Amino acid sequence: MALKIWLNGRLVDEADAKVSVFDHGLLYGDGVFEGIRVYSRRVFELEAHLRRLYESAKAIRLDVPMQKTELTIAVERTVEANGIVDGYIRLVVTRGVGNLGLNPFTCKDSSLFIIADKIQLYPEELYETGMKIISATTARNHPLTIPPQVKSLNYLNNILAKIEALDSNVPEAVMYNHEGYVAEATGDNVFIVRNGVICTPPVEAGALEGITRNLVIRLAKKEGLEVVEKNLTRCDLYICEEFFLTGTAAEVIGIVEIDGRTVGDGKPGPVTKLLREKFFKYAHGQRK
């Protein structure tokens, strides 16, 4: 069945969901987006995702062409129109159609579209056995170029690191900032367990303030686990007891090897398993 896409105020058939070649989102990566999950027909953490979308747009002086209440309805209508029970939403706002050239103010109206479809980022068996990754040589963008809090359409930096991972026959890579500290993976946030303490890079290190990241921190603290946001080095990743990634599509996935070095005992550890279980229950409405 062909998808229904929300495009600038209405649902259209997938074949009719087109943007102009003069859209600055296409020409220059000028826009913002959110990836959002659907669990059991419920849009997951929608309020938090929309808050980040509007904040990202404000940071780059981009007008979102709908109010939050209207956009909430549009997202829910798109999910319903496609019969999504468990799936993924891609919500995108671009600068819109303008002239050739960098001037964003030639774009009269911003453009907004919503895709609701299925997704499986990693094979299911990787959640049981754990994932192997590498360190990327491609550094995370300097925070004075694009603020890490802005989830922009300009993802070339991450794509180059992803290519490094795929060339090494692994699905993911860790990116480091200009000072050599861990920033994030190409599409996920980084966590380790060291001496029983959960550690994750701060936003200032170049990490996106992930919705799943923040939720996992809350779930960990609820379980009485200590969580610290601190700069991490490559050595920290090599000697930690556990290592896991979090993200909207990835959820919580354990890392068992980085750069050919085994993490822990080579299997997802107890903290990783616990937080994956707690996340799964929370996502499916079991909030107690």
- Which residues are catalytically annotated? 151
The string of DSSP codes covering 154-212 is --HHHHHHHHHHHHTT-SEEEEE-TTS-EEEESSSEEEEEETTEEEE--GGGT----HH
The answer, yes or no, to whether residue 260 has pLDDT greater than 70, is yes
Q: What is the DSSP letter of 137?
A: S
Residue that wins the pLDDT comparison between 242 and 1: 242
Looking at the DSSP bridge assignments, the partners of residue 132 are 257
Q: Do residues 114 and 3 touch, judged by C-beta distance below 8 A?
A: no
The answer, yes or no, to whether residue 1 has pLDDT greater than 90, is no
The answer, yes or no, to whether residue 189 has pLDDT greater than 90, is yes
The answer, yes or no, to whether residue 287 has pLDDT greater than 70, is no
Classified as helix, coil or strand, 256 is strand
Classified as helix, coil or strand, 130 is coil
Average pLDDT, the chain: 96
The answer, yes or no, to whether residue 182 has pLDDT greater than 90, is yes
Q: What percent of the chain has pLDDT over 90?
A: 91
Q: Tell me what pLDDT residue 145 has.
A: 87
The answer, yes or no, to whether residue 288 has pLDDT greater than 70, is no
The answer, yes or no, to whether residue 284 has pLDDT greater than 70, is yes
- pLDDT tens for each residue of 54-103: 999 999 999 999 999 999 999 999 999 999 999 999 999 999 999 999 99
Query: What's the average model confidence in pLDDT over 202-218?
Result: 94
Q: The pTM is what?
A: 0.94
Q: Do residues 81 and 48 touch, judged by C-beta distance below 8 A?
A: no
Domains of the chain: residue spans and CATH: 4-117 (3.30.470.10), 124-283 (3.20.10.10)
- pLDDT tens for each residue of 226-250: 999 999 999 999 999 999 999 999 9
